[in-house]
Structures are given as C-alpha cells and as structure tokens.
C-alpha cells in the first residue's frame, strides 16, 4: 500500500479510537455524576433518620423525666414502677386492685386511679404533639385457678385482661374534662394481653404475681415519622 494511503488509513483509525475514547470518558463522567447525586441523597436521608432518632431519644427522655418528677414519691405506696425505655407505668400485682378472677376494681384501686390519672394526663399534655396513643394494658400470669390446659388458660386470661383494662378506662375517662386537654383523651385505649408479656425472674421463669398488672403506656409517633421520611425518599 502506498505511503499516502497508509497515512490516511492510520489517521482514520486514530480518529475512530479518539471518538471511542471521548465517548467512554463522557460516559464515565455521567456515571460519576449519578453516583455523586445518589451518595448525596443517601447521606441526606441518613442524616434525616439520625436527626429523627436523636429527637425521638430526647423526647422519650423528656417524657420519662416528667413522669418520674410527678410520681416518684407515689410509686412505692402504689406498688408501681416506671419503665424508661417503653414509657410504661405499671401497677404491679393487679390482684390488689381486683378480686381474683374478676374485673371490677375495688375501692382502694379506684382511689389510686382518681389520684393518678388526672395528674398523668396533665403531665403528658406538653407532649401531645408527639404522642400517637396511650394504652391502658391488662396483663395476667399464665395461671388459672382450675388448672386447665395452657391454651384454655390463655383465652380465659385474655378475656380477664381485656375486661380489666376496659374497667380501668371506664373509671378514669370521666376524671379529666376533655376541654382541659383537647384531643388527649381520644388517644386513650384499653387493650388486654393475657399472659403474652410475663414478667420474668432472673432465672428466666415467670413471676406470676408481678405478671398480673395494669400498665399505662405512652406510644409516640416516631414510627409514623420514620415512614414519612422513607416515603419521601421513594
């Protein structure tokens, strides 16, 4: 092949390779830009979740500290405890509040609720915007007097725990005028768990007396906030 034709062919080949090289460089820049945008978006979402988690911890701690400040002096005489992580005030040994196997509160328990509940709702009022629900929970031990099967005992205790939590709700719902805490009382619900959430001893065995309890639990709206952030990210 003449030299001039080889030169033209070589120039054409060089031009073709230059075009492919430019194309690859351009694609790499596009992918790099996309990666940077995605990383930045992920970092922003991670920061939102981190900020939400910190806000949730701060709000959780503030509610706990408020409840402790309000009830610390009363808990021993009520036989009650506060769970910091789950924001639960539990009135332990509910046999002291009800006749064994029955759902009607005795007079002493009624007086305790009349002292406790108005103060409880008032203490929670500043946090209304972050509260999704307030549950009055009925819990029992796994035992039942006639010694039936574990399945039968569970459902008997389920009915009992539900009846007791409803009885407590029925008694306290008129103790605080709704006008004093608008919207707060609509968040209060009664639930019964039977023996599904027993209190355990150090060796892992059930403590029947402590398992029998009525608990007031604050449920915050942190879960809804997390869902909102995830939906915005889609």
Taking residues 171-189, what's their average pLDDT? 89
At 158 the pLDDT is 94
Structural domain boundaries in the chain: 50-228
Query: Which of the two residues, 185 and 145, has the higher pLDDT score?
Result: 185
Residue 230 has pLDDT above 60, yes or no: no
Q: State the pLDDT confidence band at 53, using cuts at 50, 70 and 90.
A: low
Q: Is the dihedral of CA 97, 70, 115, 165 positive or negative?
A: negative
Q: State the pLDDT confidence band at 5, using cuts at 50, 70 and 90.
A: very low
**Cα separation, 177 vs 193, whole angstroms:** 29
Q: What rounded mean pLDDT belongs to the chain?
A: 84
The model's pTM: 0.75
Residue 130 has pLDDT above 70, yes or no: yes
Residue 15 has pLDDT above 70, yes or no: no
Digit-coded pLDDT (tens) for 60-115: 999 999 999 999 999 999 999 999 999 999 999 887 899 888 999 999 999 999 99
List residues bridging with 136 in a β-sheet: 190, 216
Measured CA angle at 113 (ends 135, 61), to 5 deg: 50
CATH 3.30.1330.60 fits 50-228, yes or no: yes
Instruction: Say if residues 216 and 161 touch (Cβ distance below 8 Å).
Output: no
Q: State the pLDDT confidence band at 34, using cuts at 50, 70 and 90.
A: confident
Residue % of the chain over a pLDDT of 90: 52
Q: How many CA atoms lie within 13 A of 171 on its CB side?
A: 23
Q: Which structure tokens are listed for 221?
A: 């709206």
């Amino acid at each position: 092949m003449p030299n001039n034709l080889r030169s033209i062919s070589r120039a054409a080949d060089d031009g073709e390779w230059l075009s492919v090289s430019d194309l690859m460089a351009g694609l790499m820049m596009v992918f790099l830009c996309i990666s940077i945008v995605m990383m930045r978006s992920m970092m922003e979402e991670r920061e939102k979740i981190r900020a939400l988690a910190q806000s949730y911890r701060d709000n959780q701690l503030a509610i706990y500290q408020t409840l402790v400040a309000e009830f610390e002096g009363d808990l021993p005489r009520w036989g009650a405890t506060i769970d910091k992580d789950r924001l639960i005030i539990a009135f332990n040994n509910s046999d002291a509040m009800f006749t064994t196997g029955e759902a009607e509160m005795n007079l002493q328990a009624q007086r305790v609720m009349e002292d406790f509940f108005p103060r409880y709702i008032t203490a929670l009022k500043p946090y209304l915007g972050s509260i999704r629900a307030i549950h009055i929970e009925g819990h029992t031990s796994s035992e039942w007097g006639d010694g039936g099967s574990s399945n039968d005992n569970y459902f008997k205790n389920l009915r009992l725990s539900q009846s007791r939590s409803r009885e407590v709700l029925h008694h306290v719902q008129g103790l605080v005028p709704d006008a004093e805490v608008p919207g707060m009382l609509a968040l209060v619900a009664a639930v019964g768990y039977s023996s599904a959430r027993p209190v355990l001893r150090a060796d892992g065995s059930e403590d029947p007396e402590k398992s029998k309890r009525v608990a007031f639990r604050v449920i915050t709206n942190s879960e809804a906030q997390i869902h909102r952030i995830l939906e915005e990210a889609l």
